[in-house]
Structure 1
Amino acid sequence: MLVALLVCALCAGCSSSNEGNAQAASTTPVNVALTATQRQHIKLYTVAAEQFDRTIDTTGVVDFDNDQSTSVLAPISGPVSRLVVSPGDKVKKGDPLAYVDSPDFATAVSTYRKALVTAHTARRLADLDKDLLQHQGVAQKEADQAETDATSAEADAYAAKQTLVSLNVDPQTIKDIEQGRPIARMQGVIRSPIAGTVVEKLISPGQLLQAGTTACFTVADLSRVWVMAQIADSDLSSVHVGDSVDVQSGMDAKPIMGKVDNVAQLVDPDTRMVAARVVVNNALGLLRKQMYVSVRIHSLHAETGMLVPVSSLLRDDENLPFVYVSQADGSFARRSVTQGYRVGDKFQIPSGLRAGDQVVVDGGIFVQFMQNQ
């Protein structure tokens, strides 16, 4: 009885082992054999090491070129009396943007007038003492003091004039003051420091401005903008200053050419990405600040690797890439590969293929169908 039980147990073990082996064999992919007629519809590609220029596809955000844009601060204090520009207006350097009823302006004009009178009077007295000195009409000490007073007064007048210049006073107004002409109304002027487009208006009529503190306008030259492209760690080694870039604002938009100008040395703590600054010619005004764009960077540094056409790559049930490789006996073996980045109409394959392998590039779906039968 005991012997019979042992025999039954051994038989059961053998049976379960055989079933397990059969199940493992059934899940192992087998090579696909095709007839000569079927093979005529299959196209192969011979894998070889190729040199290529990598492209990095990412996204970016448009920003002003900070080298060609500026925030215009109020140079004088006082209430805004009149605005003369609106957002979107193009201005030249020195054009008025707004007028201000400013006591600072009136004080600066008055100070310059007084300084001019004092300087003229002191110079006239110094010249008179110099003439008297030649005829022994005054002592040398008095003539020297008169010259010192004249020089000091002229320095004060120059400083007062520079105050008007720093307040962006119109040159004609300064000339009128110097020639003693009356000024109809003493108004301060906020002028554009650069040529460009008014992109922001931050003040309104009647608003009280504080000199050197209140931001009034933003003026930017929009003929050139920055695109801040986001670069992942894995792509960072392929991005360099000078790389050419295609920037696209929409699916149907024509790409705009740019160039990598700077690669940041810091990682964004929120996105874990590195910003690459791209300078883009925006002469047509198609790019606007804060616009999201697609960015394709063409690396200038060539790389070498195994490339296969996009059509050769298939996906399994777990969405993992594989290819069919032609075997010496004419069959096709399914081989898992690692998919790298895209280069034109090909993908880089870091691992899974060797030089000389022939992969199916046309008819792979049919081979997969035959394997699943």
Structure 2
Amino acid sequence: MAVLALAGALTACSDKAAAPAPSGPVEVGVVTLQPERQTITTELPGRASAFLSAEIRPQVGGIVQKRLFTEGALVKAGQVLYQLDAASYQAAQASAQASLAKVQAAVGAAEATARRNAELVKIDAISRQVDDDSQAALVLARSDVAVARAAVENARISLSYTRIVAPISGRTTTSSVTPGALVTANQAAALTTVSQLDPLYVDVTQSSTEVLRLKSDMASGRFQRSDAASARITLKFEDGSVYQHPGKLQFSGVNVNPGTGAVTLRAVVPNPQGLLMPGMYVRAVLEAGVNEQALLVPQQGVTRDATGNANVLLVDKDNKIERRRIKVDAAVGSRWQLVSGLVAGDRVVVDGLQRIKAGDTVKAIEVVTKASGAGSPEAAQAVMPAASAASGAR
């Protein structure tokens, strides 16, 4: 009797454990693909360079008397940077002015002689040869005045060059000379350099292969060319931080460097705080084109097989699971940019992948997407509804 009672209890427990689970299709979260306007960007290496740069050299020789600027400070165009000893140039100007006065006095005498001879020749008081000589002497005297005036102007210019001024506004570098140094006209070594740092140029290089690929995509109609007048460029520093002031593409090279196989692009970038410095290495994110019908696939819905091919699970019109191989390109936030394999309207499974397989009948629930970060507006994060969450708990 005891054995029969024990067997009956075990049978009851077994029947209870084998009770069938509630039937019904599994709930999965899906995202319906819709075409979006997507800006095509490319990240390229680049270096900053001054918008304007002037190496300061003396145009006359002499002893430096004063340095009239602070190294590293901002200077204005026309501001005096160095004062050279001007004594010899002042003397040269005074000598030129005296020579001018001398020849001007000679002109007065020549004019009087020529005027008098012109009257005398009319009454045959003098020969015509004497009159001609006096007229020629007047022309020569007037030429001497013109030469003397040019000498005075030249002396004035040389004297003005003893005040070495900044040709542009900008920030100075260190000075290579101190008061008392001897400098010469047009010497090889610059006294200092003035650089305009706001805005700055950023020169980036793009491989010719990338240029050809982009042109091919544009020719096929996949991408549209970005408006050159509004093509933006965003900079990243070496530490990965993003520079807050976007620039604008100004120039695209037409020749390929035979040594590097790259094309040079130039952008103008504002630099109000002076964070960018000439020679600084940056990464430039350039807007290359626009895809008006881009399809972006959430990364959590993409898996890869043993050979590295990308695959997704779709929910077809009969609510059955279908596995499809796709081809993706660059990452855009938390999504992949689709190249081929899907069309607009396809429903991609992004939640519940572990509970289903190809051929299963499911209940598709559209998920809500939201931006995953302020700095990445394209990035999306799937948020499941309460009903789907409950399904996952079961």
Q: Same fold (TM over 0.5)?
A: yes
Q: Aligned ranges for residues 221-236 of structure 1 at < 5 Å?
A: 221-232=196-207, 233-234=209-210
Asked if structure 1 preserves the Cα contact closer than 8 Å seen for 2:110 and 2:141, the reply is no
Aligned position for 2:195: 220
Alignment counterpart, residue 283 of structure 2, candidates 275, 280, 294: 294
Structure 1 residue runs without a partner (length 5+): 1-34, 171-187
Using the alignment, how far apart are the partners of 1:37 and 1:208 within structure 2? 93
| 1:13-52 to 2 correspondences below 5 Å | 38-39=26-27, 41-46=28-33, 48=35, 50-52=36-38
* Distance change >3 Å, CA 129–CA 303, structure 1 → 2: same
Mean CA deviation greater in 268-277 or 191-200: 268-277
- Letter paired with 1:275: T
Match of 2:41, as an amino acid? T
Q: Deviations over 1:248-277 (max 9, x none)?
A: 446555521211001122344565432211
Contact 2:106 2:141 (8 Å CA) reproduced: no
Contact persistence 1:305–1:350 (CA under 8 A): no
In the aligned structure 2, how far is the partner of 1:304 from the partner of 1:253? Answer: 26
- Structure 2: tracts of 5 or more residues without a match: 1-22, 121-129, 216-224, 359-394
Tell me the residue number matched to 2:160: 169
Aligned partner of 2:234: which letter?
Answer: D
SS in 2 for 1:287: coil
Q: Residues 323 and 73 from structure 1, CA distance in 2 versus in 1: closer, same or farther, beyond 3 angstroms?
A: farther
Q: Structure 1 pair 310/128, CA: closer, same or farther in 2 (3 Å)?
A: farther
Are residues 239 and 266 of structure 1, via their aligned partners in 2, closer, same or farther at CA, if it must alter by over 3 Å? Answer: farther
Question: Partner of 1:278 in structure 2?
Answer: 267
Aligned-residue offset at 1:37 = 5.7
Q: CA deviation at 1:75?
A: 1.3
Match of 1:97 in 2: 81
The 1:369–1:315 alpha-carbon spacing in structure 2 relative to 1, beyond 3 Å, is: farther
TM-score normalised per structure 2: 0.66
Kindly tell me: are residues 314 and 211 of structure 1, through their superposed partners in 2, closer, same or farther at Cα, counting changes over 3 Å? farther
Match of 1:73 among 38, 43, 57: 57
> 3-state SS of the aligned residue for 2:141?
helix
* Structure with greater Cα Rg: 2
Residue 166 (structure 2) pairs with residue 192 (structure 1): yes
- TM-score, structure 1 normalization: 0.69
Between stretches 278-287 and 289-298, larger displacement belongs to: 289-298
Does the CA-based 8 Å contact 2:44-2:283 persist in structure 1? yes
Shift in Å at residue 190 of structure 1? 2.2
2:134 corresponds to which of 142, 145, 155: 142
Q: Would you say how many aligned residue pairs link Structure 1 and Structure 2?
A: 309
1:241–1:262 CA contact under 8 A, matched in 2: no
8 Å Cα contact 2:312/2:324 also seen in 1: yes
Tell me if structure 2 keeps the 8 A contact 1:226–1:280.
yes
Q: How big is the shift at 1:282? A: 1.6
Q: 1:206 to 1:119 in 2, by over 3 A?
A: closer
Q: CA shift at 1:47, angstroms?
A: 5.2
Contact 1:305 1:349 in 2 (8 A): no
2:44 to 58, 73, 76: 58
Q: Quote how far apart the aligned CAs of 1:64 are.
A: 0.7
Choose 323-332 or 113-122, whichever is displaced more.
Answer: 323-332
> Per-residue deviation at 1:297?
2.2
Compared CA separation, residues 319 and 189, structure 1 to 2 (3 A): farther
Q: Tell me the equivalent position of 2:150.
A: 158
Matched, 1:307 2:281: no
Q: Which amino acid aligns with 1:219?
A: V
Identity %: 21
Q: Which of 80, 96, 106 is the equivalent residue of 1:115?
A: 96
**Distance in 1 of aligned mates of 2:344 and 2:176:** 64
Contact 2:55 2:191 in 1 (8 A): yes
Q: Structure 2: which amino acid aligns with 1:332?
A: I
Q: Are the counterparts in 1 of residues 233 and 286 from structure 2 also a CA contact under 8 Å? A: yes
